[in-house]
Structure 1
Amino acid sequence: MINGTADPIIPYEGGRVKFFGRSLGNVISALGTAEIFVESHDGAKTTQTIRFQHIHPDDLTSVERRIWLQDQHELVSLLTVHGGGHVVPQSIAKFPKLMGKVNLDFSAPREAVNFWRLTGG
């Protein structure tokens, strides 16, 4: 999961979803959503939190990854983009400013490929 804390549409802390002034219902927090996925697995779990290296000085966002592990297997990964908007963190595509800030320190598509182990082998 990748969520921005300044997402103008889906509130990171949960609450009302808004899109161009229309209310589209409520959501739970990003952390609460991740924990629901974690709870769907029986047994003991551990967590790790990693802060990404800040590479681009003009980028006003930062990234923290929280990982839930079970027997060293990654169950759930929540990447919190502090100050990030409703965008896909990466450095190629451009998004309208009204969607919020984009983090340039990592590639969300690459993170998904790595998490799901979709690389050739």
Structure 2
Amino acid sequence: MKQEIQVGGRKRTFLLITNGQAAVAQRIAAVLIVLHGSNQTGQSVRAFAGNSFDRLAAAGRVAVVYPDGLKKRWNHNKPGHGATDDVAFLAALADHFHASFGPVPVIVVGFSNGGQLAIRLVHEIPAKLHGAAIVGATLPRPGGLVLADKSLPLPVMLVHGTGDFVVPYGGEGWFASLLGGRRGPSAFDTAKYFAARNNITAEPTSVVLPHRRESGKTSVTLTRFEQGPRPPVWLYTVVGGGHVVPNRHRKAIFVAGRTTQDIGTAEALAEFFPVLRG
């Protein structure tokens, strides 16, 4: 159901999905906050992902939350007076659900512009999060993001398609770099950055996931950055995949690119974050 909270004198809205009766009987064990992309809303990214995140709530132990950005955008990089404080909004949401459900893990997954905000949240409010997932977003070019980094390691999962023409796998400004422009970190570089931030020095390992016939020309490689008890970083590279939230229930529109069936983002989240399993 649609709900609202006041943050900084503004009404902010979000959609909350639970399996009502089961949630009451079993108690909520985790909260998953899904951040939409530009020109989307919480409800539209819910449909864009084939309602696949809702399935994590089916067993009754996970609450799935779809917040709405003001004017269908998130402020992932503008500090200071007059800028929308979406970091404060997400911090308030985490506090709201901790008050409602107790000190349960709060995990953020962001798509595109929502993934950019998730990157900011990992740096600025890590103590309120159990971890994050970034879909179709990379670190910005140097100087493109001012972060008040709290330097608290967190597990991070990334999903990115090599056929993404909105946020190229090769990094922000990748096309301009062909003409000598400055390029931002690639998806792989972004994963390496978070691994280094988590003090992981071991070499990553990679495996190609089983291929389904319905995935057509796409395939998925999982690269794991892991070292002992340090928070891990996983990168799912969707070869041939577009600017989409991979799921096995709904393909994105043609202009967004291919949607693989070799991975479902919700299922990958449940594998990476065991607390999200039913």
Report the TM-score when normalising by structure 1.
Answer: 0.82
What is residue 45 of structure 1 aligned with on the other side? 202
Q: 1:17-96 to 2 correspondence within 5 Å? A: 27-42=184-199, 44-56=201-213, 59-71=216-228, 75-96=232-253
Deviation at 1:54, TM superposition (A): 1.0
Identity of aligned residues (%): 29
Which residue of structure 1 lines up, in the alignment, with residue 277 of structure 2?
Answer: 119
The CA distance in 2 between the partners of 1:101 and 1:6, in whole Å, is: 8
Segment of structure 1 superposing worse, 86-95 or 36-45? 36-45
Distance in 2 (alpha carbons) for counterparts of 1:100 and 1:83 = 8
Q: Distance in 1 between matches of 2:223 and 2:200?
A: 19
Matched residue, 1:9: 166
What whole-Å deviation, never above 9, does each CA across 1:38-71 have from its counterpart, x for those lacking one?
0112254242111011111561101100001111
What is the CA–CA distance in structure 2 between the aligned matches of 1:51 and 1:92, rounded to whole Å? 22
CA displacement at 1:95 relative to structure 2 = 1.1
Higher relative contact order (CA 8 A, sep 6+): 1
Structure 1 gaps of 5+ residues are 19-25
RMSD (Å), alpha carbons? 2.2
Tell me the distance in 2 between the aligned counterparts of 1:74 and 1:102.
29
- Counterpart Cα distance in 2 of 1:95 and 1:119: 25
Alpha carbons of 1:58 and 1:5: their partners in 2 closer, same or farther (altered >3 Å)?
A: closer
Q: Which amino acid aligns with 1:16?
A: G
Equivalent-residue separation in structure 2 for 1:4 and 1:63 (angstroms): 9
| Structure 1 residues 14 and 92: alpha-carbon distance in aligned structure 2, compared to 1, 3 A threshold | same
* Distance in 1, Cα, partners of 2:164 & 2:186: 12
Greater percentage in helix: 2
Q: Which has the larger radius of gyration?
A: 2
Instruction: Work out whether residues 161 and 169 of structure 2, in 8 Å CA contact, stay in contact via their aligned partners in 1.
Output: yes
Distance 1:77 1:94, change over 3 A: same
- So what's the TM-score if we normalise by structure 2? 0.38
Deviates more, 1:8-17 or 1:82-91: 8-17
More strand as a share of residues: 1
Q: Once structures 1 and 2 are overlaid, which stretch shifts more, 94-103 or 54-63?
A: 54-63
Gap regions ≥5 residues in structure 2: 1-157, 176-182
Q: Against the structure 1 CA distance between its residues 43 and 66, is the aligned structure 2 distance closer, same or farther, given a 3 Å change threshold?
A: closer
Question: CA separation in 2, counterparts of 1:41 and 1:84?
Answer: 28
Post-superposition shift, 1:8?
Answer: 1.5
